[in-house]
Structure 1
Amino acid sequence: MGAPRVLVVEDDARLLAMLTELLEGAGYDVTVARDGQRALHEGLTGSFDLILLDRGLPALEGLDVLNRLRRTGITTPTLVLSALGNPADRVEGLDRGAEDYLAKPFDVAELLARLRALLRRHEQTAPALRVPGGVLDVTVRGVQLDDGSEVALSERECDLLEHLARHPRQVLSRHELLAAVFPDADDQGVVDTYVHYLRRKLGRATVQTVRGLGYRLGAPA
């Protein structure tokens, strides 16, 4: 399935560089954001396994970013890493949607251990993703159809359908899908090709074309 994808949101340039080097060294695929608006954009349009989130951000406070992501149905496990570390701050962070909360300054080994624990819990408890006509199981790269049959998907087909299913009400541009699902490609036509493959296997209703804008998950059957 590739390296775990983590969105790191931190406005301190030196700390952000340190976290990026640390996480990449630990085998993560890192995307960064230095303010709340960029973090919200990345969270809404990208596909991540984890979010590492500061609170005191320019443009939009970290917990407000998290709250907006949760309201759109994005359930990516999130660890808040903040200088606001008293008990009331931790309680607020957990109540507003974070799965874990670690105060700065922090121990590097503890941070990595907490991220590993979040990944394990998410893999064990990740909800099934409803798609038109069935349920996507990313662990086996297949769709269990409502009639009881199963359809196997390739890795890229599964990644594309998963990304659409994690943003069920959003229209995603071909550029956004290319960056999130096919980062090694430079031709947006690859998105159209894999949409065609999904429709061929699962039916045209699986992915809806929004003319001039992009694609979104089809309506439930």
Structure 2
Amino acid sequence: MDGRHRVLVAEDDSRLAGMLEVLLDSDGYAVEIARDGQRALHRGLTGAFDAIVLDRGLPAVDGLGVLRGLRGGGITTPVLILSALGTPPDRVDGLDAGAEDYLSKPFDVDELLARVRALIRRTSSVLPTVRFPGGRLDAAGRTVTLDDGSRTLLSDREAGLLEVLARRPHQVFSRALLLDEVFADADDPGVVDTYVHHLRRKFGRSLIETVRGVGYRMGALS
């Protein structure tokens, strides 16, 4: 990964989406735009994002439908709803659907950026480690601690790969997706296989399962 926090922006207004992309990019985020609810739900379920900025009035699937779909799929990525619907009942509906924050349009740019930073900061402090069967990963410290108490230091890329797999243990990741999410500076999908091999050599083959013809998913320590 390139070290930047990843933000998914779900907004169908092309002008506003472009403005949000520029603002968030200038604040240091890697930004992906989804222009309808179906795309937003798909990327939210399959991608690794640190925060989602979600419009309620999306085509195909509305924002609350996207949010319920994400939460129903076990995705805990923090969501900021950004909507022209700003009455107290509207806010209650959004928060009850699973959003962490709600900001009405029109909005102040500095406030939006501050709220995104707060979401990511709060989530990072709440989830300092990622559990997987047989151990846990301290992503910031790049350290795996097994249930028997033994500890292993990983490289940046090993830790990045294990974190992506462990945060979505039931998802099958294609090599192309892992290349995009973990090895953004590489163009050879073979680098994914290389680092899968490195992790298996340290923790055993069962840690990462091969799904033939598709890719990889999280396994368990044998």
- In 2, the alpha carbon distance for the partners of 1:173 and 1:144 equals 27
Classify 1:142/1:11 alpha carbon distance in 2 versus 1 (closer, same or farther; 3 Å): same
Specify the code of the residue in structure 2 equivalent to 1:31.
E
The corresponding residue for 1:40 is: 41
The corresponding residue for 2:86 is: 85
Give the CA deviation at 1:184. Answer: 2.0
- In 1, the alpha carbon distance for the partners of 2:125 and 2:198 equals 29
The corresponding residue for 2:165 is: 164
Gaps of 5+ in 2: none
- Alignment partner of 1:104 is 2:95: no
The corresponding residue for 1:136 is: 137
My pick for the range that moved more, 154-163 or 37-46, is: 37-46
Give the CA deviation at 1:150. Answer: 0.7
The corresponding residue for 1:63 is: 64
The corresponding residue for 2:218 is: 217
Give the CA deviation at 1:127. Answer: 5.9
The corresponding residue for 1:12 is: 13
- In 2, the alpha carbon distance for the partners of 1:185 and 1:38 equals 26
Specify the code of the residue in structure 2 equivalent to 1:95.
D
Normalised by the length of structure 1, the TM-score is 0.95
Q: Give the conservation status (yes or no) of the 8 Å contact 2:134–2:220.
A: no
My pick for the range that moved more, 122-131 or 23-32, is: 122-131
Q: CA RMSD in A?
A: 1.4
Q: Give the conservation status (yes or no) of the 8 Å contact 1:70–1:97.
A: yes
- In 2, the alpha carbon distance for the partners of 1:30 and 1:214 equals 25
Q: Deviations over 1:8-50 (max 9, x none)?
A: 1100000000001111111111111111111122112211111
Give the CA deviation at 1:95. Answer: 1.0
Give the CA deviation at 1:128. Answer: 3.2
Specify the code of the residue in structure 2 equivalent to 1:55.
R
Give the CA deviation at 1:132. Answer: 3.0
Classify 1:220/1:97 alpha carbon distance in 2 versus 1 (closer, same or farther; 3 Å): farther
- Runs of 4+ in structure 1 deviating by more than 3 angstroms, as ranges, are none
- In 2, the alpha carbon distance for the partners of 1:37 and 1:138 equals 31
Specify the code of the residue in structure 1 equivalent to 2:52.
I
Q: Deviations over 1:60-108 (max 9, x none)?
A: 1112112222222221111110111111111111111111000111011
What is the aligned residue count? 221
Describe how 1:16-31 pairs up with structure 2 within 5 A: 16-31=17-32
- In 2, the alpha carbon distance for the partners of 1:60 and 1:4 equals 26
Normalised by the length of structure 2, the TM-score is 0.95
Q: Give the conservation status (yes or no) of the 8 Å contact 1:66–1:98.
A: yes
My pick for the range that moved more, 78-87 or 129-138, is: 129-138
- In 2, the alpha carbon distance for the partners of 1:202 and 1:30 equals 33
- In 2, the alpha carbon distance for the partners of 1:80 and 1:47 equals 18
